[in-house]
A and B are shown apart, each in its own frame.
Chain A
Amino acid sequence: MNIVNLQVQRIVIHQIHQRDEDGKKVTPSRGTEFIRFDAEAMNTFKSRFINAIGAESKAVPMSIVNQESTDLPPMVDMLSECGDEDFISLSYDVANKLADAQQRKNLQGGIVVVFGGLYGATPKKFVGIMKAEIHSAYGKKVDDLTSEITLKYIEEALLTPATKLYKTAAFFEKSTTPEGDDLNSKWDVLVSDSQISQAEGKAAALYFYSSFLGCGYPETCARTTKQFYDATCEFLNDIDVSEEKRNDLHNALVSYLKHENSDVVNPLEFSSRYFDVETRDSYSEFLEDKEIPNTAFTKDIEFISGKLKTRKLSFSKDVKLIAPSQVFKELVDIQSINVNDAGEAVKWTKIIVKDEIVAQE
């Protein structure tokens, strides 16, 4: 999705609170007016939002599951259409809904930012929701007289980029005309949670994307995962590296998809782990040319589980080497040979299998 030309028109904030000692919900504090940012503050806010859900971010597309009138997606639909008064009160319902969804006592409160506006070359609507936890910070202060720099303690700060204490959801109106009542045909949903580490392998905290947003992982992921795998294989076969390195990268791809304990595939994460800067850019471009998302998506290896089970090397004269991928990674070493004993240029491959032959035909 191309989130260009973003225009934020309305922003309202409310505050939600951590549950009390008995685990009871504390009523959110209500904001009653629109926030008016100056140009610079608005640009910073938009930057935070784009960093969270823009191209090559960690945001994951989700599909809308709960569509009852009291669920969040229909509320978002209304937010996109309603007048200013209704926007402010509906946005408070959103905050309330998040407070409801935060069942566990240890979940922090925070500021809920509900905002809406237009995006795209031919402008379409969008609605964004951010939950930003409040933390303390320091602000720089310069003495006018002495120019001495001191630090001012700020007890309540939010949306500082490095602390990454925020969760973001965004509903983007599709460019196609919706069919029937299914909100999925009207809205694309992106969810990003900077508090979920990659290692946990989730798109976002369950209470946030499911209980609060009423969304779930989309079902079309098996196809996307296969496309990602096929395209990455093609890319790996094409890049200018030694055969040893190419072999390592293929092993890495298999491990990434098969063994990593993660629900999402993030091409950007894969490339930043295994490629240098130049290669990362050409990889992104390669995926884009093949229309494979450069944002994260849900992993589903159903269509490629067979391929991931084995690693295979094929040579031009029908020599083949096949092994279970884990065994291949551990017991097979390959090395290119470019010159033979007579000093002539050759394209040979030396294979070491760290095992004995048990049968021959």
Chain B
Amino acid sequence: MNEKEFLEHWNQEIPMHDAWGDFVTSTICKHLKTNGKDLSSFLKQSPEHRIKDTTSLLDKAFYRTNKNYENPYEEIEDKVGCRFVVLLIEQIEEISDVIVNEESWDHKECRHFYSEREKEPLLFTYQSVHYVVRSKTEFIHNDVLIHPGTPCEIQIRTLLQHAYAELTHDAVYKAKTLVQPEVHRTVAKSMALIETTDDFFSDVNSRLIFDVSGEFDFQEKLDSLYKEYVGFESASAQKSSIVIFDEFRDLIDEDLLRKVERFIRKECYLSDVIRGGVGENPFYKQSVIIFLLYMVKKKKHRLINGWPLNYRILENLAMVVGVSLDHD
């Protein structure tokens, strides 16, 4: 296939690659959503697919010295691609799992920084995970027929890896001008730093998850108590809730939960009080209100001693359940 034939073929097939890219991206997003991810926060940039720029495609097929393609049209796999950028290393794995387990395509792992780090332990350079997926069967998507074997490249990176790639990929590795050795050195130092930072991020994240897991459970149980006794879903816990759980963390255990439940069951007027307060006081929408009413009634001294929010809120709670805060 000469350059002209290549170009004609490509122009004809652009809509198919476009549709295939869209299918791949939306399929992955769909699975992530099913797994409970809020895509607007999980993905750090929109994963929209992109068709390779024609000039760059021709350049890659016919002019690059380091690429010796027998059949460039078939062998070039990034004619369409998409990119998933996440915060943490472990989130890359979650996306990889989705790609590897999808039935409608065959996948091939083209590069993975883990294996590259093993191969070249002394090198600090571009890191990313690349997959190429090819459709298994002929099918129609967005009114376009997609041939089996159509490739799409998927890149998955952390935000920091992405920042590195944005800075260097075009400028340093594809630059036609010769790059100074000290620039290479600085860039390598940056990647070393990025890899270190990514590890720290993961470490921090796993500790945070571990720390709140006990409370998280408590929060969920409170949410379900709220639903059961107040009659509708509570609002999601705001920072004020977290500050409160943080302050009284040492009290939180299974036993406390049983006591709180017994309390809300016994003091049945509280359901009405909470329902009545929802309109004027947004605090009453969070399930932490049940915990606080219990505390003000049963553990007043501890509550006053550690109270982390505005005292007026505490006064209001005490007034509702008729407990005096007066003390010398």
Contacts and interface: CB of A to CB of B under 8 A. Distances in A.
A46 B319 contact: yes
B304 to A, nearest CB: 9
Nearest to B306: A277
Interface in B272-328: 272-273, 280, 297-302, 305, 315-316, 318-328
A327 interface: no
A281 B322 contact: no
Given A4-B321, A284-B298, A121 B315 contact: no
Nearest to B323: A55
Contact of B323 (A56, A121, A281): A56
Pick the most buried of B316, B326, B328: most chain A CB atoms within 10 A of its CB: B326
B301 A277 contact: yes
B316 A4 contact: no
Contacts of B323: 50, 54-56
B21 to A, nearest CB: 57
A281 B272 contact: no
B256 interface: no
B300 A284 contact: yes
B324 A57 contact: yes
B325 A51 contact: yes
Nearest to A278: B302
Contacts of B327: 268, 272
Contacts of B268: 121
B298 A5 contact: no
A43 B268 CA distance: 22
Nearest to B299: A281
A43 B326 contact: no
Contact of A54 (B267, B301, B305, B322): B322
A310 interface: no
Given A56-B324, A121-B269, A272-B327, A47 B316 contact: yes
A3 interface: yes
Q: Is the interface of A mostly helix, strand, loop or mixed?
A: helix
B269 A51 contact: no
Interface residues of B, number: 27
Contact of A4 (B300, B305, B320): B320
A192 B301 CA distance: 21
B316 to A, nearest CB: 6
A55 B323 CA distance: 5
Contact of B269 (A39, A120, A278): A120
A50 B318 contact: yes
A121 B269 CA distance: 5
A153 B16 CA distance: 81
Interface in A13-57: 39, 43-44, 46-47, 50-57
A332 interface: no
Interface in A277-328: 277-278, 280-281, 284-285, 288
Given A43-B316, A47-B315, A4 B269 contact: yes
Interface in B3-23: none
A6 interface: yes
A125 interface: no
B319 A5 contact: no
B8 to A, nearest CB: 74
Contact of A6 (B301, B302, B319, B328): B319
A69 interface: no
A58 interface: yes
Contacts of B322: 2-4, 6, 50, 54-55, 119
A56 to B, nearest CB: 5
Contacts of B328: 198, 272
Nearest to A119: B322
Contacts of A280: 301
A52 B273 contact: no
Contacts of B299: 281, 285
Given A5-B273, A47-B319, A277-B305, A39 B324 contact: no
Given A50-B318, A121-B272, A284-B301, 9 more contacts: A47-B325, A51-B318, A54-B319, A55-B297, A55-B321, A272-B301, A278-B302, A285-B298, A285-B299
7 contacts: A4-B270, A6-B319, A47-B319, A51-B324, A268-B327, A281-B301, A284-B298
Interface of A: 2-6, 39, 43-44, 46-47, 50-59, 119-121, 194, 198, 268, 272, 277-278, 280-281, 284-285, 288
User: What are the 9 closest A-B residue pairs judged by CB atoms, nearest first?
Assistant: A121-B269, A57-B324, A3-B322, A54-B324, A51-B326, A281-B299, A280-B301, A277-B301, A54-B322
